[in-house]
């Protein structure tokens, strides 16, 4: 099979045959990728601090993942779990039930994408509680299907022109300490943003109508916003006092991204339902809803599922990912990487006025860029220019945040010290140059 090679040809074909809707951060086309390095069709070598948007925690083309995919593909690629079941689905479900926080009986449903996991969590929560309403948060991102998009907070580009949206979705302010929506300061605030859920039941939606509260432990697309230690324990307690399902969307923060398998472990919280996707299968399309058995088992036979959900090749890749975490001690590596990054970022913050906030957990870290530290006016123009500055010099890095002024790190956890240093040098040079 012949394939067009140069990016010039591919760029023209892309413009002619692919709509503009799917955005592109860089103008490059990948040829191959290994570990934390991406090679493009024109021979560029790019250090990957983006990880395909937080998907490649075990690194690109890990030999164990490649072998698992090949092995399974040679046996069979699809029968549909609903028609003839297969072991990898069951083995993975058992593993995931063991890995997620909470020692209560659990069950796992597999699907294809993060958004689809979100959809299924809403279905399970509504069915179990027999209630209609879902509470989500400002700055949240949950995907691009209709319910997931409705739950998502950022209007441009995710929602503009796509309404009407789903009904019975209510949005609360989040624990964004750097820009507190209540104008308070931590810890003097006593985490009033969590207690606000009780007021929200009065002003916006009744607790007895609420099926679920869905929240990311660390807001991903919303700017790596990281709540204080008291926040989630308070929030889940209010949910449980009111019979509401607490759903943790760990699609970006899970699978070791924060130095623990699941970010909620940092808060000591055991969610009723946990959502996974992204890094769980190293780039193969797979997602999961894992949670309390009585909730997961509430929907009737035939009420959940889909043609491809829990595809055997994807499940085999995910089982390999879990083994890699154990064999290569990736959680310890992630913690060490996170410590190194934080040290470097805090040193940069001391030197560069443009870095208003350094936040996150483990290597899920971010820099919020501001015009000055008093007004905190978002420096979205600098963030945009920085992403370009970096990729032109061989570093892939992403921005995020509702104001598009946050730079985040999602590099493979297997990145070498040399690759990390080279990437950080480009980032620091860019920040220094562009903040002059
Ligand atoms: C927290 C979170 N939830 C849901 C999604 C949607 O996942 P997908 O793009 O696989 O549908 C994403 C994707 O970025 C995400 O970060």
Cα atoms in the 13 Å half-sphere on the side-chain side of 174: 28
Closest C-alpha to ligand 1, atom 7: 114
Q: Nearest-5° angle of CA 302, CA 306, CA 307?
A: 125
pLDDT at 3: 59
| Axis crossing angle, helix 312-327 with helix 87-99, rounded to the nearest 10 | 40
Which atom of ligand 1 is least distant from the CA of 143? Answer: 6
Closest C-alpha to ligand 1, atom 10: 114
Q: Ligand 1 mean position to 291 CA, how many Å?
A: 18
Tokens representing 339 are 């410590």
Closest C-alpha to ligand 1, atom 16: 252
Closest C-alpha to ligand 1, atom 3: 142
Q: Ligand 1 mean position to 279 CA, how many Å?
A: 11
Burial of 365 (0-12, 13-18, 19+ CB in 10 A): buried
Sign of the Cα pseudo-torsion (368, 370, 373, 377, in order): negative
pLDDT at 1: 45
Tokens representing 119 are 């959809």
* Sites in the chain below the pLDDT cut of 50: 1-2
Cα atoms in the 13 Å half-sphere on the side-chain side of 404: 13
Q: Best mutation site among 114, 122, 275, 408 for ligand 1, i.e. most ligand atoms within 8 A of its Cβ?
A: 114
Closest C-alpha to ligand 1, atom 13: 143
Q: How many CB atoms lie within 10 A of CB 228?
A: 15
C-alpha to C-alpha distance for 142 and 145, rounded to whole angstroms? 9
Tokens representing 76 are 């069979």
pLDDT at 4: 59
pLDDT at 208: 98
Q: Best mutation site among 55, 57, 115 for ligand 1, i.e. most ligand atoms within 8 A of its Cβ?
A: 115
Q: Ligand 1 mean position to 331 CA, how many Å?
A: 22
Q: Which amino acids bring their CB within 6 angstroms of ligand 1?
A: 53, 113-115, 118, 141-143, 216, 220-221, 249, 251-252, 277
C-alpha to C-alpha distance for 208 and 242, rounded to whole angstroms? 7
C-alpha to C-alpha distance for 233 and 253, rounded to whole angstroms? 18
């Amino acid at each position: 099979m012949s394939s067009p090679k140069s990016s010039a040809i591919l760029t023209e074909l892309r413009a002619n045959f692919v709509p503009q809707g799917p955005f592109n951060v860089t103008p490059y086309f990948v040829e191959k990728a290994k570990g934390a390095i991406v090679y493009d069709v024109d021979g560029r070598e790019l250090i990957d601090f983006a990880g395909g948007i937080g998907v490649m925690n075990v690194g690109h083309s890990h030999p164990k993942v490649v072998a698992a995919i090949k092995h399974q593909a040679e046996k069979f690629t699809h029968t549909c779990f609903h028609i003839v079941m297969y072991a990898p689905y069951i083995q993975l479900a058992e593993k995931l039930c063991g890995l997620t926080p909470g020692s209560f009986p659990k069950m796992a449903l597999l699907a294809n994408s993060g958004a689809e996991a979100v959809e299924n969590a809403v279905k399970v929560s509504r069915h179990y509680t027999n209630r209609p309403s879902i509470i989500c948060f400002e700055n949240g991102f949950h995907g691009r299907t209709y319910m997931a998009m409705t739950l998502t907070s950022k209007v441009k580009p995710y929602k503009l022109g796509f309404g009407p949206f789903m009904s019975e979705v209510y949005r609360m302010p989040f624990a964004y300490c750097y820009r507190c929506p209540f104008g308070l300061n931590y810890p003097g605030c006593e985490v009033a943003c969590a207690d606000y859920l009780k007021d929200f039941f009065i002003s916006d939606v009744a607790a007895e109508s609420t099926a679920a509260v869905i929240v990311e432990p660390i807001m991903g697309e919303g700017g790596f916003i990281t709540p204080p230690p008291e926040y989630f324990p308070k929030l889940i307690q209010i949910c449980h006092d009111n019979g509401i399902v607490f759903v943790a969307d760990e699609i970006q923060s899970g699978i070791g991204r924060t130095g623990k398998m699941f970010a909620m472990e940092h808060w000591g919280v055991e969610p009723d339902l946990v959502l996974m996707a992204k890094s769980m299968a190293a780039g193969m399309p797979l997602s999961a809803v894992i949670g309390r058995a009585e909730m997961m088992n509430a929907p009737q036979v035939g009420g959940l599922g889909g043609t491809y959900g829990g595809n055997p090749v994807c499940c085999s890749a995910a089982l390999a990912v879990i083994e890699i975490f154990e064999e290569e001690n990736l959680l310890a590596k992630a913690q060490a990487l996170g410590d190194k990054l934080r040290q470097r970022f805090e040193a940069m913050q001391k030197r560069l006025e443009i870095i208003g906030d350094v936040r996150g957990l483990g290597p899920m870290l971010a820099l919020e860029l501001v015009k000055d530290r008093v007004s905190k006016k978002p420096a979205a123009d600098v963030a945009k220019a920085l992403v370009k500055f970096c990729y032109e010099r061989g570093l892939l890095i992403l921005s995020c945040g509702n104001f598009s002024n946050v730079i985040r790190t999602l590099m493979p956890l297997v990145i070498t010290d040399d690759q990390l240093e080279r990437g950080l040098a480009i980032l620091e040079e860019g920040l220094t140059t562009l903040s002059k």
